[in-house]
Amino acid sequence: MSDFRPSLPRGYAGAGANGQAVRNQVLRNTYWLLALSLIPTVIGSAVGLYSGLNEIMATSPGMTTIIFLAGAFGLMFAVEKNKNSSLGVGLLLLFTFFMGIMLSRLLGFVLGMGNGAQLVMVAFGGTAAVFATMATLASTIKRDLSGMQRWLFIGAVVILLAAVANIFLQMPALMLTVSVLAVGIFSAFMLVDLQRVINGGETNYVSATLAIYLSIYNVFANLLMLLGIFGGDRD
């Protein structure tokens, strides 16, 4: 279960040279914290794989989903409440560690395939390409894309509900549809959030990092799911 998205608050960095300096600082800090947040994610994934937690989660998908939703939304709420202090950074890194543990279930499934390691690298490369593309578009598109956020959020909620329902329905076609839509929706979210930071619509780099991290996480997880389904070697 990996498709979710909170509604994050917005700010305004002001205009003129001072506003541009603030925007550049927020963007720079966001990129640094985003890169740092990937380290706990990798560590959490390794902990999940080598401790056998991924296998335990695979045997109880319903309980895993409950733990995932409670832990993820609880930590996101805590991050947002403390986003203006160093505690917010610590909680964000704890959140990414937790997300890494949750990701280990999917990683274990894919790495169990003959070409699993290659699929993980392809998914990582694909996600990096999506991020680079969205970052480039965010800095070149002049039109304000913030109006898309409401519809993207509605789409993310629909995907979340469909993914939860499919735990019980077990419909392959629905799973594929959810993954394809999730890649598209969270790529668009990435574009909107990056543009918001560049244009000064988000002045807190912790909130900005949380939003962009969620998009990256969901794009990677769903790309990996699709690659595992269509390109996995199960021999």
The pLDDT tens digits of the residues spanning 163-179 come to: 989 888 888 899 999 99
CB of 190 within 8 A of CB of 130? Answer: yes
Task: Please give the single-letter amino acid code of residue 56.
Answer: I
Query: In the 8-state DSSP scheme, what is residue 113?
Result: S
pLDDT band at 12 (very low <50, low <70, confident <90, very high): very low
User: What percent of the chain is predicted at pLDDT more than 90?
Assistant: 70
Q: What is the pTM of this model?
A: 0.89
Domain boundaries in the chain? Answer: 16-231
Mean pLDDT, the chain, whole residue set:
89
Question: Distance (Å, rounded) from C-alpha 35 to C-alpha 86?
Answer: 17
Q: What is the largest CA-CA distance in the chain?
A: 61
187-218 residue pLDDT tens: 999 999 999 999 888 889 999 999 999 999 99
Whether 156 contacts 10, CB under 8 Å = no
Per residue, what are the HEC states of the chain? CCCCCCCCCCCCCCCHHHHHHHHHHHHHHHHHHHHHHHHHHHHHHHHHHHHCHHHHHHHCHHHHHHHHHHHHHHHHHHHHHCCCCHHHHHHHHHHHHHHHHHHHHHHHHHHCCCCHHHHHHHHHHHHHHHHHHHHHHHHHCCCCCCCHHHHHHHHHHHHHHHHHHHHHHCCHHHHHHHHHHHHHHHHHHHHHHHHHHHCCCCCCHHHHHHHHHHHHHHHHHHHHHHHHHHHCCCC
Task: Tell me the pLDDT band of 16, cut-offs 50, 70 and 90.
Answer: low
Per residue in 89-134, pLDDT (tens digit) is: 999 999 999 999 999 999 999 998 888 899 999 999 999 999 999 9
pLDDT digits (tens, 9 = 90+) for 34-85: 999 999 999 999 999 999 999 999 888 889 999 999 999 999 999 999 999 9
What distance in Å separates the CA atoms of residue 2 and residue 8, rounded to the nearest whole number?
A: 18
